[in-house]
């Protein structure tokens, strides 16, 4: 009602009557036939990482789960994860989840997963035998049409051949543009499920 009054909205008489009635009030508690209702959590970030760990083990890889609730600036977390990958034993997959953030400094495109991937590629600096993927599990990274992006040992080499400056793209928050030029965006469309971000770094 306050919103209707604030914006001077014209409502039909039936809608106005309904909003003014007690029936339209938000109930403080569930009672009656639905008082025994319960909520069941059927998907969670931890479950996604557990499933990924099981897939890794089925391929004789050692999963290293570093957390399902990692937060922080995407580019800073990427530097930390690159350091962990540099000291990891070959034959492992470093798995993590959570919700990263991006401080907007430029006018580029891309969400936290693509920005993480770009910063990770720069920190890895072409390290051989390391691949990575960072995606939002709902299929949309930020406001673009990609879920995230992939990093490969030759990511920076391919960028250099195309005349792309990773640091320039990162400074403009244009990780989407960077990975689009390399054809390394992950585009799957909305998944209709969201258990936060998913990141995997494969060390061979």
| CB environment 2-30: b (16+ within 10 A), e (fewer) | eeeeeeeeeeeeeeeeeeeeeeeeeeeee
What's the pTM? 0.82
End-to-end CA distance of the chain: 61
Q: What is the pLDDT along the chain (204 residues), one digit of tens a residue?
A: 888 889 999 999 999 889 888 877 776 666 666 667 778 888 899 999 999 999 999 999 999 999 999 999 999 999 999 999 999 999 999 999 999 999 999 999 999 999 999 999 999 999 999 999 999 999 999 889 999 999 999 999 999 999 999 999 999 999 999 999 999 999 999 999 999 999 999 999
Separation between Cα atoms, residue 120 and residue 161, nearest integer Å: 19
Q: How many CA atoms lie within 13 A of 156 on its CB side?
A: 17
Q: 54: Cβ–Cβ under 8 A, 6 or more apart, which residues?
A: none
Q: Which tokens go with 182? A: 């390399």
Contact call for residues 113 and 149 (beta carbons, < 8 A): yes
Structure tokens at 8: 């001077």
3-class state of residue 150 by DSSP: strand
User: What tokens were used for 126?
Assistant: 């072409």
> What is the CB neighbour count within 10 angstroms for residue 65?
16
Nearest to 74 by CA among 99, 96, 103, 101: 101
Neighbours of 153 (CB within 10 A): 15
Q: What is the pLDDT of residue 63?
A: 98
Among 45, 55, 123, 47, smallest CA distance to 84 is for 123
Whole-angstrom distance, CA of residue 113 vs CA of residue 188: 14
Distance CA 6, CA 16 (A): 15
């Amino acid at each position: 009602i306050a919103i209707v009054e604030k914006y001077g909205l014209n409502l039909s008489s039936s809608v106005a009557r309904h909003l003014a009635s007690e029936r339209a009030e938000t109930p403080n508690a569930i009672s009656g036939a639905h008082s025994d209702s319960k909520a069941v959590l059927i998907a969670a970030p931890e479950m996604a990482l557990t499933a990924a760990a099981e897939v890794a083990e089925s391929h004789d890889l050692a999963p290293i789960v570093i957390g399902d609730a990692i937060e922080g600036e995407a580019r800073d977390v990427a530097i930390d994860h690159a350091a962990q990958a540099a000291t990891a034993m070959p034959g492992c997959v470093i798995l993590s989840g959570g919700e990263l953030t991006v401080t907007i400094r430029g006018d580029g495109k891309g969400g936290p997963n693509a920005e993480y991937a770009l910063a990770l590629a720069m920190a890895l600096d072409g390290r051989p035998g390391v691949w990575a993927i960072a995606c939002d599990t709902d299929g949309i990274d930020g406001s673009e049409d990609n879920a995230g992006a992939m990093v490969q040992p030759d990511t920076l080499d391919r960028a250099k051949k195309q005349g792309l400056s990773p640091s320039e793209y990162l400074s403009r928050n244009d990780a989407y543009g960077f990975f689009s030029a390399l054809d390394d965006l992950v585009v799957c469309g909305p998944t209709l499920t969201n258990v936060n971000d998913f990141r995997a770094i494969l060390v061979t």
